Amino acid sequence: LQVCADDPLTVAHSARILSSGVRDAVTQRWAQRGFRRAVGTDPSGQTQRNLFGQIDGTANPAPADADYDQLLYSDGADRRWMRGGTSLVLRRIRMTMDTWEEIERSSRELTIGRKLDSGAPLTGTTEHDPADFEAMDRTGLTVIPTESHMARARPRVRAETILRRPYNYDDVPDSGQISNSGLLFASYQADPVRQFVPIQQRLAEQDMLNTWTVPIGSAVFAIPPGCHEGGYVGESALEG
């Protein structure tokens, strides 16, 4: 159950009301609490930033894309009850903020592959400029490093496109920790094996950002389609 609002008081009250009706049937096992900038905080509508200061989520598909639905929603070919539903991969990733802040700005930008101020690729000037991964600098090196986070995470084929919705967390440090901050990375896609796994494998193999990030845990959820009037969410799964 994901509950979101611009006001944390609204989130707390809504979560309580939604869970109150099922307390006799279910037990809450865990919860993850994250935050983003409130709507309207940035009048320009710029993509959200993470705690590293980097714009996060630029390459998301737009609802106007011709194959948007095919990328996000299952066609039910493998599991009939998932037709019209989607999947969620949720990863909790700790950011080692203290060591990240020790490196200079140029190194941070090379690690990500984007400029800190605008979010533009290192080969562009604005956030949504297409990246040129073949461009070389005067020394013969690629302007966007091949091991940068951007280069490793980009889809190799259109079918690898995912919808990302990252949330930040900044919790009280555990004993012995200097900080306890990071990212709740939420990825939505029709098929996590076909779309998410190939990207994650490339990041695990070689990603400069791995020096400053530590995966804490992850989970995969099947999100069933909505229901008809008089029905209930998940009805198709129980019907087989």
Q: Which residues are catalytic?
A: 56
| 3-class SS string, 96-134 | CHHHHCCCCHHHHHHHHCECCCCCCECCCCCCCCCCCCC
Let me know if 18 is exposed, middle or buried by CB neighbors in 10 A (0-12, 13-18, 19+). exposed
SS3 of 187, please? strand
Residue 169 bridge partners (DSSP): 182
Instruction: Give the 3-state secondary structure of residue 57.
Output: coil
Helix, strand, or coil here: 158? helix
From CA 141, how far away is CA 115, in angstroms rounded?
A: 18
Number of other CB atoms surrounding residue 192 within 10 Å: 19
CB 126, CB 187: distance < 8 Å = no
Cβ-based neighbour number of residue 81 at 10 Å: 18
Give Cα separations from 136 to 90, 118, 119, 139, 152 (angstroms): 36, 21, 20, 8, 17
